[in-house]
């Protein structure tokens, strides 16, 4: 029964993550409840393996059906890959309590901004090109990559918001771009978790299959219903992330 629960959680996480990110909000709490005595790093590494497979499947589907701004995505992905190592190293040296307490406020600002601007992310109108685009992409990828390695929750949602806010993408194009950058973050993290032995390979691969199935459904929904649907789900997921991170920051800990 536990494996059925984990499979269902992974499927739903893959579906949500393929559209707006935030799949870890669903998957990780279920894993911790099923394996309360397991080392947290091992559960996070196992979840990352499943997430990597699901996000990669979503990225491939988006690339096939949505025009991806590679001139911005590639520099962002490379920077995210490199800086996620730095984030993972830093978290072993510096407590994450400050980031944990600050995160709900940042997410709340993102939700308010998106809700107030009704046309936010409705039209795909890139605002940068050339060196300016590459430099902003590197900065974006570096910041999010470091955050993903250091802490992690909501990485996909943050990426989407930044691609809409600073690059002028619509929500559908931003979701596609975010998936590619997120894959780079996941590869970097998996290299560390695998090297340090914090992976339950059989469980991770089982959940990966369910995540891939969910990501295929989520990608089709996003492409079929467009940016308006993605924007609505984005607001729902960010709202849930606010509640979850507030609990983690001020109640649980």
pLDDT, tens digit (0-9, with 9 covering 90-100), for 115-165: 777 666 667 778 778 899 999 999 999 999 988 877 776 788 889 999 998
C-alpha neighbours within 13 Å on the C-beta side of residue 86: 12
Higher pLDDT residue, 173 or 147?
173
The pLDDT score that the predictor gives to residue 40 is: 77
pLDDT at 210 over 70: yes
Per-residue pLDDT, averaged over 34-51, amounts to: 85
Q: Give the range with max mean pLDDT: 62-66, 192-196, 230-234.
A: 62-66
Q: Measure the CA–CA gap between 249 and 127, rounded to whole angstroms.
A: 36
| Residue pair 59/17 in contact by the 8 Å Cβ criterion | no
Of 5-9, 39-43, 44-48, where does mean pLDDT reach its minimum?
A: 39-43
Per-residue pLDDT, averaged over 106-116, amounts to: 78
- Provide the percentage of residues in the chain whose pLDDT is more than 70: 90
- What are the extents of the domains in the chain? 2-252
The pLDDT score that the predictor gives to residue 162 is: 92
Higher pLDDT residue, 81 or 123?
81
pLDDT at 180 over 60: yes
Q: Measure the CA–CA gap between 137 and 143, rounded to whole angstroms.
A: 10
Dihedral (C-alpha) 159, 164, 168, 173: value to the nearest 10 degrees?
A: 80
Convert the pLDDT of each residue in 223-247 to its tens digit: 998 888 888 888 888 888 888 778 8
The rounded Cα 121 to chain-centroid distance in angstroms is 18
**92 pLDDT tier (thresholds 50, 70, 90):** low
Q: Measure the CA–CA gap between 146 and 179, rounded to whole angstroms.
A: 16
Per-residue pLDDT, averaged over 29-45, amounts to: 83
What angle do helix axes 2-20 and 40-65 make, rounded to 10 degrees?
50
Higher pLDDT residue, 41 or 229?
229
Scan for tokens 């499943």, then name that residue. 50
**94 pLDDT tier (thresholds 50, 70, 90):** low
Q: Measure the CA–CA gap between 210 and 54, rounded to whole angstroms.
A: 8
The encoded tokens of residue 196 equal 């340090």
Q: Measure the CA–CA gap between 241 and 239, rounded to whole angstroms.
A: 5
Q: pTM of the full predicted structure?
A: 0.84
**How many residues in total does the chain contain?**
253
Scan for tokens 């709900």, then name that residue. 104
The encoded tokens of residue 147 equal 């955050």
The pLDDT score that the predictor gives to residue 95 is: 62
The pLDDT score that the predictor gives to residue 186 is: 86
- Provide the percentage of residues in the chain whose pLDDT is more than 90: 39
Scan for tokens 């190592």, then name that residue. 85
């Amino acid at each position: 029964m536990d494996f059925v629960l984990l499979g269902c959680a992974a499927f739903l996480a893959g579906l949500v993550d393929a559209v707006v990110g935030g799949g870890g909000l669903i998957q990780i709490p279920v894993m911790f409840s099923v394996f309360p005595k397991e080392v947290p790093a091992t559960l996070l590494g196992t979840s990352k393996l499943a997430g990597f497979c699901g996000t990669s499947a979503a990225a491939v589907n988006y690339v096939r059906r949505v025009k991806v701004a590679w001139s911005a995505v590639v520099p962002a992905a490379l920077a995210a890959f490199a800086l996620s190592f730095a984030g993972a190293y830093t978290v072993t040296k510096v407590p994450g309590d400050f980031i944990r307490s600050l995160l709900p406020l940042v997410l709340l600002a993102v939700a308010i901004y998106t809700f107030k601007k009704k046309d936010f992310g409705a039209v795909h109108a890139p605002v940068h090109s050339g060196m300016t685009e590459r430099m902003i992409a590197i900065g974006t990828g570096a910041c999010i990559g470091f955050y993903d390695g250091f802490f992690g929750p909501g990485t996909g949602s943050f990426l989407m918001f930044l691609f809409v806010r600073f690059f002028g993408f619509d929500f559908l194009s931003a979701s596609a771009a975010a998936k590619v950058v997120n894959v780079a973050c996941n590869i970097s993290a998996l290299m560390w978790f695998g090297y340090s032995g914090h992976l339950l390979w059989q469980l991770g691969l089982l959940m990966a299959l369910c995540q891939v199935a969910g990501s295929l459904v989520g990608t089709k929904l996003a492409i079929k219903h467009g940016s308006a649907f993605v924007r609505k789900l984005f607001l729902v997921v960010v709202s849930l992330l606010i509640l979850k991170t507030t609990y983690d920051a001020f109640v649980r800990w």
